[in-house]
Structure 1
Amino acid sequence: MAETTDSPQLVRVLGPGLLLLFVIGDILGTGIYALTGEVANEVGGVVWLPFLLAFAVATVTAFSYLELVTKYPRAAGAALYTHKAFGVHFLTFLVAFAVMSSGITSAATAARAFAANFAEAFGLDLAGTVGITAIALVFVLVLAVINFRGVGESVKTNVVLTMVELGGLLIIVAIGMWALGFGGGDFSRVVEIDPGDRSVFSAVVAGTALAFFAMVGFEDSVNMAEECKEPTRIFPRMLLLGLGLAALVYVLVSITAIALVPPDELGAGETPLLRVVEVGAPAFPVGIFAFVTMFAVANTALINMLMASRLVYGIAREDVLPTVLGRVHPTRRTPYVAIVFTTLLAVGLVVFVGGVPELGGTTALLLLGVFAIVNVAALVLRRDHVEHRHFRAPTILPVLGAASCLFLVLPWVDRPATQYRTAGVLLGIGVVLWLVTRFAGRRDGRPASTTDREES
């Protein structure tokens, strides 16, 4: 759909600092706070290695995203790149639906986790799951209000939450340094590997596939391109710096955790880092760390809802979704219809879906598939020349990115079958929605997509 000059546009408020905090805040969060113990169950003491390998896979894919977002600085992200590269309406819709579903599912799951932590932090005795669901729904609606008020308010809220969650992880690192200085931990465990009844290779690959969930989030920033100042100039530095800082924190936290708590004990509970605090610093008020965890989860939910609404807005402007979803509020300058749509989906997930591990693994599975397509799209779009200067990744990196992402998608990584089934159901819903959208477009006499007739 061609833009008109009198149509309100998104306001560019993101500078380098806010963009960097957005990237860091989106990567940090639920993954590292919840998955450290699960990764330890896969590999034993070398829990830091899967996080490091997941960082490597994410980084090579980030180079493809950087080339594409600086070449096409628009809000639709992976869906836009897929359509420009392949021109297949069905594939574009599936990619968009997979990314949107992963963001909303992650946000809805984080909302339930927030509600559970909220109840525990305030000592609330909630009967059954009704109380938890009610708190989670209120939380989702609060996110919608923040999102509607504008990306400036949303990202500033993200700054506060990012500092809180980063502070919690730095507490873990400080405890590890204290233990190292006073001999309170067993740092020899960080080089011990326990693959169980599998080969070392299989154990590390399974751990990496699991740890990858903790590294996703960097790709969300490309959906903020139309609200970023000078995206071509600042995106490469801020995205790579954010990834590197997050990976450094992850490695330090995982080394501290395994040095203070044995692998079998670390992987036995649902709050591994809380156990690290209890063992490494018994005098530290554990309740404070519970609050930090709650805010970290809140930050994950906020950024995912920001991403999902901007993605829906972007692809609606490409006529892949109904154009009404691309409307911008004339006063707040935010994509208000897309915000309502994604909030309703999140509400449905909060009510009907649970299970953080299953949804987290499914999120990673879907995004790995999307990342493989984006890496191939970066290579295909080398033949499409634009007038402005943009970042260009070394050719070998998109090749490595596509290969590594496809490798982690396939069943030999020992991924639970429930994740494949859940992903299949989600994509099946996407197919149904695509058919409905296609039929509605034909009935109205509109072409399937106007993207082919547009130039960026």
Structure 2
Amino acid sequence: MTQSGSEDSLRRTLGLGDAVVVGLGSMVGAGVFVVLGPAARAAASGLLLALGAAAVVAYCNAMSSARLAVVHPRSGGTYVYGRERLGEFWGYLAGWSFVVGKTASCAAMALTVGAYVWPEQAHSVAVAAVVALTAVNYGGVQKSARLTRVIVVVVLMVLAVVVIVCLRSAAADAGGPGPGLELGLPSGAGGVLQAAGLLFFAFAGYARIATLGEEVRDPARTVPRAIALALGITLVVYVAVAVAALSVLGPGGLGNASAPLADAVRAAGVPELVPVVRVGAAVAALGALLTLVLGVSRTALAMARDRHLPGVLAAVHPRSQVPHRAELAVGAVVATLAATVDVRGAIGFSSFGVLAYYAIANAAAWTLSPAPAARIVPAVGLVGCVVLAFALPGVSVAVGAAVLAIGAAAYGVRRWRTARRREQ
């Protein structure tokens, strides 16, 4: 396999700030504007408990990923970790879960952009967004990181305004008839777990940091620090936004809102901010789409290097030093999905795939040290991933399991054909 310094290797150009921004662009964009409503519908007044449960599992996964990234600082994330620590099949299954699930997520983010920018032409806008961001990624990872930095700043500013407006309104109405902030358990703990599984989708952005391991300077130090910082900042943002939205809408209103944060500022008595929130949502989805395409193409690169995907996708552009064929292929598939199907309901399916991906990451991290203390975090992460995956809506579990089975079958057929060729 080709290593650093050859024409197939990627250039290490990203620093700590760039890596943190890539993670924030994925997590903040995907979570606050997309998942908060469905999670509130599932958890009701247990939304904050669900957020905490998702954060605990995400923390365990992040620490496992960080430890693995130090030992294996190459592009591909858990595809590489699973292959090196558990065997070729598990690495392949992780890569399959990531590529398939996140490709659907890319289309969902593109359609989110279309829905906020021009609802009547959502599919056309989605395709245009995919084409534009694929072109940005094609130009080099540094350009992608710079654009993501701008997107993150804009989104965080919009969210700060939402939080301030909602909390001021809640404070002014304290003791009045407003919904207020309700805490506690919903009608069943299953709702909290299902919401946590959906919210986990929003925390999965740090995977993009790990998949960029071959393009980060001093990955042994940078990747673990970037993962911890991005996850911590995102959790603070999520808690603040969830509390603010619940304080003016209540769990019922938040769960039934088609555009939760726009409805929240309207309920707070500042309807003139609704367009600002809509722009912020579109920009956030663009940021998530940018980094999703970035991460999927890097995993496709790693799998193509090992011939689990067509070998032509392993090419690295000699000038921009990006996996240009993988990026074009991913962009084409996402654009096709965005043009032909509505995949906004794919959050559950994507969550199932990502949880399977991180279950393998935790199993791989378990092998790093025989010390019982070192195995606590990966053990909690592994159990948490399995529990949250099967707490998702039944359709998501069924489709996700079927897709994993198809991937496993394809791997088995490939291995059988390879063995037959060797025998001949």
Scaled by the length of structure 1, what TM-score is found? 0.85
Q: State the partner residue of 2:389.
A: 409
- 2:385 is the counterpart of 1:397: no
Shift of 1:211: 1.8
Aligned with residue 434 of structure 1, among 408, 411, 414 = 411
Letter in 2 for 1:96: G
Aligned with residue 294 of structure 2, among 306, 310, 318 = 306
Aligned with residue 166 of structure 1, among 131, 147, 156 = 156
Q: State the partner residue of 2:33.
A: 33
Of residues 298-307 and 107-116 in structure 1, the stretch that sits farther from structure 2 once superposed is: 107-116
Q: Is the 8 A contact 2:64 2:378 kept in 1?
A: yes
**Alpha carbons of structure 1 residues 4 and 63: separation in structure 2 relative to 1, 3 Å:** closer
Q: Is the 8 A contact 2:48 2:183 kept in 1?
A: no
Q: What is the alpha-carbon distance in structure 1 between the residues aligned to residue 322 and residue 160 of structure 2?
A: 34
Q: What is the alpha-carbon distance in structure 2 between the residues aligned to residue 355 and residue 166 of structure 1?
A: 26
Q: State the partner residue of 2:136.
A: 146
- 2:152 is the counterpart of 1:190: no
Q: How many residues align?
A: 421
Q: Is the 8 A contact 1:375 1:402 kept in 2?
A: yes
Letter in 2 for 1:373: I
**Alpha carbons of structure 1 residues 397 and 421: separation in structure 2 relative to 1, 3 Å:** same
Letter in 1 for 2:347: G
Q: State the partner residue of 2:92.
A: 93
Letter in 2 for 1:337: R
Q: State the partner residue of 1:252.
A: 240
Indicate the SS of the match to 1:29. helix
Q: Deviations over 1:164-222 (max 9, x none)?
A: 222222122111332255346879843444623xx3x2232222222222212112211
Letter in 2 for 1:348: T
* Identity of matched residues, %: 26
Q: What is the alpha-carbon distance in structure 1 between the residues aligned to residue 286 and residue 409 of structure 2?
A: 31
Q: Deviations over 1:345-379 (max 9, x none)?
A: 212322343231x3111111111122112111111
Gaps of 5+ in 1: 121-125, 384-391, 447-456
Q: State the partner residue of 2:106.
A: 107
**Alpha carbons of structure 1 residues 6 and 95: separation in structure 2 relative to 1, 3 Å:** closer
Q: State the partner residue of 1:424.
A: 401
Q: State the partner residue of 1:83.
A: 83
Q: Is the 8 A contact 1:64 1:393 kept in 2?
A: no
Indicate the SS of the match to 1:208. helix
Q: What is the alpha-carbon distance in structure 1 between the residues aligned to residue 90 and residue 47 of structure 2?
A: 36
Letter in 2 for 1:408: L
Q: Higher helix fraction: Structure 1 or Structure 2?
A: 2
Q: What is the alpha-carbon distance in structure 2 between the residues aligned to residue 275 and residue 44 of structure 1?
A: 17
Q: What is the alpha-carbon distance in structure 1 between the residues aligned to residue 170 and residue 384 of structure 2?
A: 35
Q: Is the 8 A contact 2:165 2:265 kept in 1?
A: yes
- 2:356 is the counterpart of 1:362: no
Q: Supply the RMSD in Å over aligned alpha carbons.
A: 2.5
Q: Deviations over 1:307-338 (max 9, x none)?
A: 00111112222343333221111111111111
Q: Is the 8 A contact 2:105 2:346 kept in 1?
A: yes
Q: State the partner residue of 2:333.
A: 345
Scaled by the length of structure 2, what TM-score is found? 0.91
Q: Is the 8 A contact 2:48 2:242 kept in 1?
A: yes
Q: What is the alpha-carbon distance in structure 2 between the residues aligned to residue 444 and residue 329 of structure 1?
A: 32
Of residues 185-194 and 244-253 in structure 1, the stretch that sits farther from structure 2 once superposed is: 185-194
Indicate the SS of the match to 2:212. helix
Gaps of 5+ in 2: none
